[in-house]
Structure 1
Amino acid sequence: MKHLVFYLLVVAALSVGCKKNTETAAVNLKQSFGNRNEIVLVIDDSLWVGKLGDSIRKQLAKPIVGSTEAEPQFDLVQLDPKIFTTRAKMARNIVLFSTNTVNEFLLQKSVNATPQNYFFLRAQNTDDLLKMFHSKADSIVAVFRTSELNEETHEVVRSSTNNLNELKDFFGCTLKIPDAYYLQVKNEFPFLWYQKDLSSGSLNLVLYEFPIAEIENNQQPIETNLLHARNYIGKEFLKTAKDFGYVVTNIQNTQTISKEKLLEFPVYKITGNWETANDFLKGPFVCYAIRDDYYKRYLFIEGYVNNPFKNKRDQLLEIEAIIKTINFNEH
């Protein structure tokens, strides 16, 4: 099996369907800047307070799925073109809107700094610009999401120096888990629970597996069995400090379950909110259930964010970046 390639490049012509100029050679460019999941929007103040600005905020700052608080998927920084300085042009994620010009939708990479995604939306008038943004918003979001996950994966790899032999022994895989995480629980089930302390809570990374025959048993939909498996693990192993408290996912509540690929493996990605039986803790989670024919199993890797009254979006991104570093050397 080929090793996991950590850093994916988005080919604009395929991913966003837009015209793309030759990329600037990045070798002599300075490092871009910007907080994680931050976008600089260069747009005239008069357009920002109108229907175009409303549409931009609705699409780019919509609440993320799964968070217990209303958090935007991106933080937006609006700059009028008159104050779009040389320093601001080095931001990692930029979208520039302009009118009174030919219609054009363009993505350029590493224009003034690296890495950098620089979108240009140009149109003859505001109505055309609004229509263009409506038609391209999903593509813009996809590029920024991929880019931010790549950057977070870089950070995860840089901060991971420990050789976690228990991952190979229990699951025949490796993960890049930052050194700030420590092994909280180890059980021959097999089950591993890593935890990272936060000032007001914790990040939790959990691995376990179930036989394919238990998940695909024709008695219930696969999606239902995946949730039941997670709840079994929560009751058995994910205990809280309070007596008889444990993590549970309310199957009656809406969870988002989608089919994806990780390496060449089919994956069910599950996002939603966890809560606790006999306790008051709750928060968002992300789970990847990997169908692995080699071991005839579903390998679950999931992260729980326990950070009451704090933002959780970037912590979910960290968990997902860790999961994306998985590698199965034995295959």
Structure 2
Amino acid sequence: MSKTEKSCVGEDSTITNKFGDRPPCTYSMKIQSLSELKTLFSCTDGYKSRTFSSGKYNWNLVIYPNGNKKDNGTGFISMYVELDKTNLTSTVLAYLTFFIYNKKENKYLTIQDVEGKQFNAVRPVCGFPQVLPLDTFNDPKNGYVFDGDQCEFGVDVMVPLTNWELVSFSQKPSNPKFSWTVSKFSKLKDHCYVSPKFLVGGKNWVLKLYPKGYSTTYSKFLSLFLHLADGETLKAGEEIYVGTDVRILDPVGCSHVSWNMKVWYKNVKGWGCYEFASLDRLRKSYLDKEGSLKVEVEFEVVSTTKYSS
């Protein structure tokens, strides 16, 4: 640690001290001879650990066993983290939790700044000048110095993720139902018919209807599929969960032909059924007076994903 560097702890810091089990620890350091460490490092020098990594950055734990006099740490154990500023081009936010082992309690005194610290090339060092009074720390009766002349320090450096995704499952999303009237069904000649686009769960969808079956294998059936509309793309690795009820409506009653579908959209853009309903059954009972077929889809649940970039 350069002698001209100071920590960036301010008066607005929110610090919590407590005893507890070991927190998630990025790095720990056990001192075999505290008295020798104190002799080697004065009140203006700190002992720097070997380099460790967290959040794609390199760090060092710095301990002042006699307190950091230059940072108003006289009479206290002072603890800092130093960021390796080599090739650093931006500010790094990190949340610091220091700890000191107490063998008498078999617990760890933790010192945490809940607001986080901003590290950069100008200020690569942050920490606490007044962690624990030296009178308390040095007295073996208190448990911080144990087994003759040993002690243990540690730190957790948590760097918030810059890449993240938030997945939510919306039950009964807004405008969950879409209806489509296919006119003159019995006279349709094309292989496939596509409905208008409709928006559900932040994505545009279409129904694809095959009035003479998806292929000759299914020529006696209506095939029906729910597709992501043209232009809708999934990010690499993105998946969408969909729970829907797809149905052909009974024009004179409630004996709808219904299929409940629960699927993940990932490698394919469409899901459906090759044998949704027999054509004989549809022509006999499901065409209205004008010969139209009414198709409906209702979303019960659909997942949405938000990304940081």
After TM superposition, the score normalised by the length of structure 2 is: 0.27
Structure 1 or 2: more strand by fraction: 2
Structure 1 or 2: more helix by fraction: 1
